[in-house]
Amino acid sequence: MPPRSCRRLITLAVAFAAMTVSVARADVITTIPAWNGSQAVGAMSNQPGAVTTIGQTFTAVSPNLNVLNSFTFVVRDNVTTPAFDFLAQVYQWTGTGITGPALFSTGPLSVAGQAYQPTTVNTGALNLVNGQQYVALFTALGTTYNVSSMSLGSVGSGTGAAYTGGKLVYSDAQTFTALTTNTPPRWNFGGDLGDLAFTLAFASVPEPSPVALAAVASVVCGVPVAIRRRLKARKTA
């Protein structure tokens, strides 16, 4: 039987793990609770000269906020019919625009109905770089011509923005080339734009299990016990 001190260590390890394992969860950033249900930015469409792309920048923070599982925007179709088509994407954000190819992109999605509704896009376990900024966006680029348009719920303005790690951004770029090269400047941000009504869901960080911690404690305690037994065997030999 392990010494009393080791038994106490094992007991404490199990108790600590039992407490910590219960808080293992997916971490989220969200401004939706601060949304008033009507404030919005838009209208977004692929009609000539229109705003084609609206997104939210955010900052990846290790260890809990750098593997993106999904993002959610609150949206509405501004015309009864037809449904509004768009793409969902994630890019690295430079501070003034996007860079590189899309880190994540969907095929055509659609929203129908003039009531605001949360629309969630699953990105899988999208690995992000700690401290880097990114933008999650909806764009009408790459879709068939829409007679409709889409608005996205927004919150905050200026210093009253709900999220300090990013901001609402939008672009009137008419092609993906103009959107990604930002030449001439195609992205608008700052001022009183605030943030989108959004939720970013990140992968959970697993906590050590009670069994694992108890096993470690047992090994640590078992080492001196094994040494004492070996020494005792030598003396009696």
The model's pLDDT over 174-219, given as tens digits with 9 standing for 90+, comes to 999 999 888 777 898 866 788 999 999 999 655 454 444 444 344 4
- pLDDT, residue 100, reads 86
Q: What is the third-level CATH fold of 28-202?
A: Jelly Rolls (2.60.120)
pLDDT given for residue 220 in this prediction: 44
The pLDDT of residue 125 = 95
Domain residue limits, the chain: 4-22+209-236, 28-202
Closest residue by Cα to residue 47 from 147, 114, 137, 142: 147
Between the alpha carbon of residue 187 and those of residues 3, 47, 144, the distances in Å are 67, 17, 23
pLDDT at 223: 46
Burial 134-167 (b: 16+ CB within 10 A, else e): bbbbbbbbbbeebebbbbbbbbbeeeebbbeebb
pLDDT at residue 20 in the model: 36
The pTM for the full model equals 0.76
Instruction: Report the pLDDT value the prediction gives residue 11, as an integer from 0 to 100.
Output: 52
**Weakly modelled stretches of the chain, pLDDT under 70:** 1-26, 80, 145-146, 157-161, 190-191, 204-237
